[in-house]
Structures are given as structure tokens and as C-alpha cells.
Chain A
Amino acid sequence: MSETAVRFDKASKLFGSVRAVDAVDLALPRGSLVTLLGPSGCGKTTTVRLIAGLELATEGRIEIEGRDVTRLAAAERRIAMVFQSYALFPHMSVLENVSYGLVVGGARRQAAEAEARQMLDTLGLKGMEARLPAELSGGQQQRVAVARALVLRPQVLLFDEPLSNLDARLRRRVREDIRDLQRRLGLTVVYVTHDQQEALAVSDIVVVMRDGRIAQMGTPTELYEQPADAFVADFMGEANVIEGEVIAAADGRARLAVGGSKIEVAMRAGRPGKGRIAVRPEAVTVLPVAAAEGGSNAIPARVQRAAFLGQHREYELETAAGALFVVAPSGAAAFAAGESVQARIDRAIWLG
């Protein structure tokens, strides 16, 4: 038995001449939570709809649990999907909604309702069975949608931006709930979002998409620390991309020449040569001009803008290497706009 739950083999989807998904190869391990991340219009929704069978691939092949489903309609695949709008049937009670798939699949109504009740209990919706969807809060509707999907014991559970209709506070809780449930039941989940925080918080694997292709796929840490290119670096949290040169690299450290200064930073996978370097906002420390901690890693800078945001401070620095956006803990020393400072670069990412 293979450990791959979903496999794409050069799968493409064309709408007219638009390649919404473009020759994608993908293998998603069973029992993991995989997020599809990317800007609007990059093909995330189309990808999950290809898995669901709501769109049929124009080219290539799709497998679910080793079965070729390329030409199978949604009704014939063993998947379930939680829609952005939840798509609860407004004319059916919560219980009818949740037992719908079982009844349609030929189960006896009584058995189906018993199973549905159990699933509603699991999701903390006991007592809501008789209500109509319109009589539930947003968060409750969302959980009914999840219960309705889970009760069918799908091979893959799909979520398309499931949190976008919830307010910010609820969003964090629901995403943790989904993660817990996924772990507890060992589900294979494919989860679409355009919010990188959300992706980092819940996933085993993140797939960053761009223009219908996969830009990079890996664990959240890999993607954050070793983005394959500027696009991924920028999408996985903010990054200052500056021009520079690696003079020497060894043992996870490198000597760089940026903006006329020579500095030594932590850097993986660097190769000598000119290229682009990404610096995370929190990988820069702002110090007074005279401070000794700067050492050989600091470059001279001027504060362009400074803002206090409670938990942290944000600076925009002007340096010979270009503008740097810096996030500093609010406990650190404060600087005002116009001050001359030094910026110590602690870590950098080689983009080549």
C-alpha cells in the first residue's frame, strides 16, 4: 500500500486558453495536513476542485489512494469538501444536512441519523440537530459543514479557504480545532488559504503556488528558512531582498559584500558569486552608531521611519545596500526617525 494519498501526474486544467493549473506533479502523504498557499488567482481552488472531481483535468492524471480518478465525477470519488460559503442546504435541518451524504449513498435513514448525531457530538454541536443553518452562528455553521464532510469518512478532506467568513478571533480557534481533529482521526487534509500565518500554523506540508505551478513544497520551517526564490521568500513572511555577493561560504556561515561593507552572517546553502540575498525583518538588529555589539556584521544606516506597535517596533532603514524593513522587540532601545544607527544583519538567505 502506498503512503501517497493524492498524486498528480502532469495534471493541467485549462479554462479556454487560461492554464489555471499547469502540468503539476504532486504527491501528498497520507495522514498529513497539506496547505495550498499562494496569491489570489494562482490556481489553489482549481487544484482542490481537481481533487474533488468538480473539475476534470484537461491533461495528465490524478490518483487518490492509488486509484485513477482522472475521469471520475465528484459523486464517484471518496472525498469530501468544506466550501468557503459552507454550502449548507438552507432548507434542511442540521441533522438532515449531516446525514444527507449517507442517505443519498443508500444508508437507512435511522442508521444515517445515528451516525450523524455522533459526529455532531464529536464536534460539540449537540442540541443543534433540529436547527436550520440560518439559525446558527458563523462558527457553528462552519462546524456543521465539517461534520457533514467527516461523516462520510472521506479518503481526502478538502477545505477551500474555510475561515474567510469568520472574524479574526474565531479564525485562530477554528483552525486549531481543524488541526486537532485531523491529528486525532489521522485524516488526509488539503487546505487552501492565501494567509501564510494560517498555513504556517497548521500544516505539515505547505505547497506554495504561483501562476498554476508549484513554486515550492516543503515543511513550514523549510519554506521559511530556505525559500527557493524571492517569490516564496516574500510570500512566506516578509523579506528584504538586496543585491550582494557571497565571498566565501562554509559550515552554515558566509562572508558577504553588501552595499560596500563586508559582513559575516549565518547562511545556509550559499555559493560564492553575485546574486540576491533575502533578509528577514527580525534577522536585523538596530544598534546605536557607537555600540560595540555591531562588530564586523554591521552596516551603517539611517532611520527613515519608526513606529511603535505595542508588541514590537518597526523601522525603515536606509542603507547603502538599499532599504531595510526591520522588526525589533519593543523592549530594545528605541530610535527616532532621522537618527544614524548601525544595522547588524544576523542571518541571511541566499536566493542566487
Chain B
Amino acid sequence: MGAAGLARVAWICAAVGLLVAPWHGLEGGLAELGAWPAGIATPLLGLALGDRFWLLPPLGLLVLATLPLFGLGNAGRILTFAGAASVAYIFAQGYAIGLRGLEWSWLAPILGPEVPAQAALGWGGALAIAGFTGICAAGLAARGRFGGDAFIAFLVIGSALLLVLFVFLPLLRVLQAAIYEHDQFAPSALIARLTASEAWSTGCVADGVGCGVVWNTLVLATLTGVLTTAIGLAFALLTTRGELRAVRMFRALTILPLITPPFVVSLALIVLFGRTGIVTQWVSYLFDVPRSRWIYGMPGVLLAQLLSGAPIAFMLLEGTIRAIAPSLEEAAATMGARRLTVFRTVTWPLLRPGLAAAFLLGFVESLADFGNPLVLGGDFDVLSTRIFFAIAGARHDPGRAAALAILLLALTFGAFAAQAYWLGKRRYVTVSGKGDSGVPSPLPRGLAMGCGAIALPWAAFTAVIYGIIMVGGFVHDIGRGDMTITWRHFVTAFEVEMQAGGAAFRGAAWDSLFTTLEVSAISAPLTAGMGIMLAWLLARQVFPGRRTLEFMAMLSFAIPGTVVGVSYIMAFNVPPIELTGTAMILIICFVFRNLPVGVRGGIAALSQIDRSLDEASATMGAGAFTTLRRVILPLLRPAIVAALAYSFVHAMTGVSAIIFLVSAKYNMATAYIVGRVEAGEIALAIAYSSLLIVLMLIVVLGIERVVGRVQIGRRGGRGENEPAEPAMRLGA
């Protein structure tokens, strides 16, 4: 698109935003449009001509931006300035004047003592910001930036603005909340919060009183990392190097944790090992062991995290082992090395980077896990649950929550930094792209038996867990061992009454299920669309700030959901952007949380598409947009579908972030289930969970049928050490 064309469209958009659309948000929905053009639906023009003179500058800038449309003045400079200045001004005045009137008191001399309160931006604000962003992009393109392509300029500037708003600013808000106390800037409060003994106490070592929550988190994450890696390795060695050929069954098991809401295994663990659990009953009956609540605490949480983490470690390590060229092992064997020696001297050293990756993956997943500690933690708190209770608990303390969020963020970033450092240094993987024939050397006998001793019971245990989830919804009260078959729970949750006027969804869970499906169905295409578009920009276009944009796009990858949730309620609870309590905040949250996976998938897919295809299209007269639409997007279809599947599934199963953001009106399935668990209605929770699992299984299998195997692991995706797909050059 030419700069002039974009400038015209953007100008109209901005004009509608300023002159026509209601400037502030409509609390009561569309009904309030009746008041237009006055009252709550007044456009900016009306407000500015009234007593809100500080809203005048955007109008002036809009007039300024009109000049280049008629060929007056230096188009590039004027449009760039008018666009950038308006966007900046609209945000600045929004933060300066809020619900309590003047927020930035240093402006009092200019604005006068009595500044009326100002509500959040609405459709007018959104249109104006979009329009002025377009005007700015058109200006930059006219000045020859972004290769003179206004379409690309708009995409880059627009997505950068969105990423700043919905990834970066919320984090700043957390920092701000941690450093303020009672509206006062108080660095000492930050230091006190960050070093609080609730976080760092080592009391448990000395007198068993209970350790700081940071230590809890670290110990749990380390154990999860080590044990998931060990279990995953046992499975991976057996499927790749052992006599066991049950690969398909293991693969089937690996898909389950991905489509299971994270805390569901906890429910099954309660059913088995809770005070009235099945196993607990048997053990107490057979051996007269007193019933205890041991499962509530570190052991239970650890067990739950292992159940969901081990399959992901398995997938990663299986890829690593398959990438080790069998010819290396054969070479060692021909030099006279015995099986054990081959394993010790060749296989194991080559495996080490993969093991490090698997450990860090388990570690990070444990740090980010919220559902399992919430359900099973008991008195054992980790950072993510402590953050939640600091916001949602009886002692509401945003400053404390923010400080804990910073600690959790620091741990996560530390783990990612370690990963980058470790994997960046030693990547002696033997992937060559060429098929390497040769027979992998079999496992030494002792090792094979050891692996089997770990893997087989674990597989059986996993099967029992999922069996319980699938059965639990259909029996009276599995938590107390009452196994009478019943539809009771499904009726409570999903009763449908046929009436004269059609079906009435009377079940208690319908609302949350519909909201969940709606939010997932809206956010999935948005995530995939934006992710693929960003991937295309990052992989195929050259523009200043590309690395920064990439960093921002990938940033939310490293932010635990709990931190996202906290940051969103802190950032979007007050004007100028007020989204809490809406369905929109749920959608936005999912879009930006799942974005990095779409971006990564897109970049990976684009790297398989020879650049000469873009160039051929260009030499035949096609512009960037035409090439994208006619050549690139059709070829990216598998990546697009994968991104769609991923974001849909994760919007359905996510809990850590949205538990902060749901409202009575817009509740999500996972949050609803957690609520049932807290109310002690385990059977109902299990029934609902099993329905979700089946729903998603259908979605994932359907997609697999259409485009082949889909990667849906959040971080487990393509590890650095996985073998490349057989290189499919699309150039020829």
C-alpha cells in the first residue's frame, strides 16, 4: 500500500474516532448509545468544546494531518509528527487525568485546581489511536523508512504499540505497585518487600517452622526439574534404544497433559490419596496406618507436577536421542567398545545438552504452575499461590503481590538466561539433515532394566490417574469411594431443559463453558493472525528496531501466568484503559500470552520457505501485501493451523492468569472448576474436567487429521536439540 493511501484511510479512522464515536467507554453497553451525541456517549469534539479544553490538541493535530492529503507541506514530516504526537498526547492526558481528577499534581498550575474526573477511553479513543498510528506509519513510509512500504510500517508500528500496551506496560505497573506505598514513592518499601522473611526465611532448617516462599518454590522446581528429566529419560531411552516398541502408546500419553487443565491431575491425586481417598482407605484398612493429609503439601504438588511434566521431558529427550547419529555409536562399537562403554563415552555426553534443556523446562513449568499448588498445596505455599492470595485473599495487598511477582519473574528470567547460556555454548548436536542410516546401539542390560523399573510403573500410574478423571464424573462420590453410577454431576452442571421456546441451558456450568468457548474461539484466530504476521515481519522484512520488536514479542513467553494476571489487574483496572470485568481482557490476555508460540512456529515455517519465492513474486510485480496473501500465507497454512490449535487449547485450559481476570459475568471453565474444588465438590469438578478433556481431544485430533501432527506444548515445542524436519525446500 502506498503511503498516501494509508494516510487517507488512517485519517478517516482518526476523524471518526475524534468527531463521531463516543470518546469514553460505555459502561452499560450499546444501550447507552441512545444518549449520542451527548451524555456518556459524547465524542471528543463535544467534550473539548465543553469544559475539557485539554482534549483540543488531537483536533488540532488532525487538522494539521489534513494538509499533506491536499499536497501541502512535507508529507513525511507532518504525518509522522501529527500521528506520533497525538498517540502520545492521548495516552498522557489519560494518565494525567483519571477517575479522581488530576493524577499528576504537578500539572495543577496549568490545568487549574478543579479538574473534573475523566473516565476510560472508549471506541472513540481506540479508533483515534489506531488512526493516528496509521498516520504516523504513513509519514514514516513517505520518509523512506521501512523500505517505503506503508503497509509494513503500519504493521510494525501497530504491533509494537500493542506489545508495549499489553506486555510491557503491565510489567511496569507491577514494578510501580511494588515501589509505592499508600500512593507514596517508597523505595524502602520495595526493598523491605523483596527481602521479607515470608520470602527468604530459612526457619525450616533450624526449627521446622516453615521456610520462605522463595525457598519453597526453588526446592519444588528443582525437584520437579530433576525428576521429570529422569522419568522422561527412562521413557525416551526405552522407546529409542530399548527393545520396547510401545512408542505409539507413549506418544498418546504425551498428548494428555497438554490438553488437560493443569490442576486436573491434582483432583485425581486427591481421589486416590486424600484423607478419604481410595488408596488411603485401603492402606488404612490393610495395614492399619492412620489416615493423614500428607498429599496436601509439597509431596502432592510435586507428584502432580511430575505427572504433567514427565511427558514433555520425554518428548524433548526423545528428539535429542533420535538426533544422535547411530553411526557415531556404531563407530565406537567397531573400535571395540562394549555397550556400556559406548553409552558412557558417546551417547551420554551427546545427551547432556538435552538433559539440561529438559531440566530447565521442568524447572520453569514448575515455577509457573499455579493450579496444582492451589488445589494441593495446603499450607505449602509457592510464589504463584502466594501472589494470588495477596490479591484475592483476606489481606489484599497489591504492593506485596507485586514484589512477590517480581521475585517470581526474576527466577523465571534467571532460568531462561541459564538456558540461553548453557545451550548457546554446547550445541554439539549431530543433526545433519541427511538421513543417517545405521542401527542404534542397544541399551546396556542393567540400564534397560533400570529404565523399565521407572517407566512401566509410572505409565501405569499415569493411566490410573486419567482413568479416575474419566470415571470420576460418572459415579456418585469417587472422593469417598462411593462408586454408584450416576449422571448427577453432569445434570447439575449441564442440564438442558426442552421448553416450548427451545432449549434452556439450566446447568450451573453452561455459562462458564459458553464464555470459555467464545473467548477461545475469538482469541485463537487473533493470536494466530498476529503471531504469523509478526513472524513474517521478523523473518522477512528488514527494519530498524527488528530485534527489539522480536524481544517484545517473545517476552511474554517468559512471564508466568500469575504475574500476567496480577499485572493486568493492576494495569487495566483504572482509566485510561479500563478492561477488568470484561470479556475483552480475557481475550487480550490469551492473545498476548500465546503469541510467542505463533511467532516461533511462523518463523520456523518461514525458514523452510525459500526467500527466492518472495523475490520471484516481487520481480513479477507483486507488492509485499500481494506476496504475503498469495504466496506466503497459503504456504504457511500448517503453521497457521498449529497456532490456531495451540491458542485454542491453551485458552481453554489456562488458569493461572485468568483466575485474576474472570468476573461473575464472564467466568471461565477452569476458574469455575477451581471454585468447585474449593467448595469441596470434587466430583463435579472432575465431571467438568473430563468434558473439557474430551472436547479438546476432539479438537486436537480433528486438527491432526487435517494437517498432521500438531505441536501444542507451551514451552516443550521444538527444543533446540530436536532434529529438524526432513528439510523440505519449498523453493523448487
Question: B148 — which chain A residues lie within 8 A by C-beta?
Answer: 73
Contact of A141 with B by CB under 8 A: yes
Query: Which parts of A51-86 form the interface with B (CB within 8 Å)?
Result: 52-54, 73-77, 79-81, 83-86
Contact call A75/B622, Cβ cutoff below 8 A: yes
Contact call B612/A87, Cβ cutoff below 8 A: yes
Question: A158 — which chain B residues lie within 8 A by C-beta?
Answer: 619
Contact of A105 with B by CB under 8 A: yes
Contact of B209 with A by CB under 8 A: no
List the one stretch of B21-29, B67-75, B329-337, B623-631 in contact with chain A: B623-631
Contact call B619/A165, Cβ cutoff below 8 A: no
Contact call B621/A105, Cβ cutoff below 8 A: yes
Contact call B610/A87, Cβ cutoff below 8 A: yes
Question: B619 — which chain A residues lie within 8 A by C-beta?
Answer: 52-54, 74-75, 77, 79-81, 149, 158
Chain A 132-160, CB within 8 Å of chain B: the 1/0 string? 01000000010000001100100000100
Contact call A74/B618, Cβ cutoff below 8 A: yes
A145 to chain B: closest residue by CB: B616
Contact call A85/B610, Cβ cutoff below 8 A: yes
What's the nearest-Cβ distance from chain B to residue A78, in Å?
Answer: 9
Contact call A87/B613, Cβ cutoff below 8 A: yes
Contact call B630/A104, Cβ cutoff below 8 A: yes
Give the one of A75, A86, A133 with max B CB within 10 A: A75
Contact of A101 with B by CB under 8 A: yes
Contact call A86/B731, Cβ cutoff below 8 A: yes
Question: A53 — which chain B residues lie within 8 A by C-beta?
Answer: 618-619
From A73, A105, A148, give the contact of B618 (CB < 8 A): A73
B624 to chain A: closest residue by CB: A75
Contact of B347 with A by CB under 8 A: no
- The docked-state distance in angstroms from the alpha carbon of A81 to that of B616 is 7
Query: Which parts of B620-643 form the interface with A (CB within 8 Å)?
Result: 620-623, 626, 630-631, 634-635
Contact of A191 with B by CB under 8 A: no
* Total chain A interface residues with beta-carbon distance under 8 A: 31
Contact of A88 with B by CB under 8 A: yes
Contact of B299 with A by CB under 8 A: no
Question: A87-B610, A88-B732, A141-B732 are known contacts. Are A100 and B620 too (CB-CB below 8 A)?
Answer: yes
- The docked-state distance in angstroms from the alpha carbon of A52 to that of B610 is 18
Contact of A272 with B by CB under 8 A: no
Contact of B729 with A by CB under 8 A: yes
A86 to chain B: closest residue by CB: B732
From A54, A74, A89, A101, give the contact of B631 (CB < 8 A): A89
Question: B630 — which chain A residues lie within 8 A by C-beta?
Answer: 100, 104
- The docked-state distance in angstroms from the alpha carbon of A87 to that of B623 is 17
Contact of B147 with A by CB under 8 A: yes
Question: B618 — which chain A residues lie within 8 A by C-beta?
Answer: 53-54, 73-75
- The docked-state distance in angstroms from the alpha carbon of A149 to that of B732 is 16
Contact of B663 with A by CB under 8 A: no
- The docked-state distance in angstroms from the alpha carbon of A74 to that of B618 is 6
Contact of A184 with B by CB under 8 A: no
- The docked-state distance in angstroms from the alpha carbon of A105 to that of B586 is 43
B622 to chain A: closest residue by CB: A104
Chain A 173-189, CB within 8 Å of chain B: the 1/0 string? 00000000000000000
- The docked-state distance in angstroms from the alpha carbon of A89 to that of B630 is 10
Question: B729 — which chain A residues lie within 8 A by C-beta?
Answer: 85
Contact call A81/B615, Cβ cutoff below 8 A: yes
Contact call B616/A87, Cβ cutoff below 8 A: yes
- The docked-state distance in angstroms from the alpha carbon of A148 to that of B147 is 26
- The docked-state distance in angstroms from the alpha carbon of A80 to that of B610 is 18
Contact of A169 with B by CB under 8 A: no
Query: Which parts of B552-589 form the interface with A (CB within 8 Å)?
Result: none
What's the nearest-Cβ distance from chain A to residue B707, in Å?
Answer: 14
Question: A83-B612, A85-B610, A133-B732 are known contacts. Are A73 and B147 too (CB-CB below 8 A)?
Answer: yes
- The docked-state distance in angstroms from the alpha carbon of A101 to that of B616 is 9
What's the nearest-Cβ distance from chain B to residue A13, in Å?
Answer: 14
What's the nearest-Cβ distance from chain A to residue B652, in Å?
Answer: 31
Question: A90 — which chain B residues lie within 8 A by C-beta?
Answer: 635, 730
What's the nearest-Cβ distance from chain B to residue A297, in Å?
Answer: 53
- The docked-state distance in angstroms from the alpha carbon of A86 to that of B634 is 19
Query: Which parts of A78-114 form the interface with B (CB within 8 Å)?
Result: 79-81, 83-91, 100-101, 104-105
Question: B631 — which chain A residues lie within 8 A by C-beta?
Answer: 89
Give the one of B619, B622, B626 with max A CB within 10 A: B619
Contact call B622/A87, Cβ cutoff below 8 A: no
- The docked-state distance in angstroms from the alpha carbon of A238 to that of B13 is 68
Question: A133 — which chain B residues lie within 8 A by C-beta?
Answer: 732
Please give 19 more A-B residue pairs, beta carbons under 8 A apart, in addition to A75-B623, A104-B622, A149-B619: A52-B615, A53-B619, A54-B615, A73-B147, A74-B615, A75-B619, A76-B621, A81-B615, A85-B731, A85-B732, A87-B613, A87-B615, A91-B634, A100-B617, A101-B621, A104-B620, A104-B630, A105-B621, A141-B732
Give 22 A-B contacts (CB < 8 Å), ordered by A residue. A52-B615, A52-B619, A53-B619, A73-B147, A74-B615, A74-B619, A75-B618, A75-B619, A75-B621, A80-B620, A83-B615, A83-B731, A85-B732, A87-B610, A89-B613, A90-B730, A91-B635, A104-B617, A105-B621, A141-B732, A149-B619, A158-B619
Measuring CB to CB, which residues of chain A are less than 8 angstroms from any residue of chain B?
52-54, 73-77, 79-81, 83-91, 100-101, 104-105, 133, 141, 148-149, 152, 158, 165
Measuring CB to CB, which residues of chain B are less than 8 angstroms from any residue of chain A?
147-148, 610, 612-613, 615-623, 626, 630-631, 634-635, 729-732
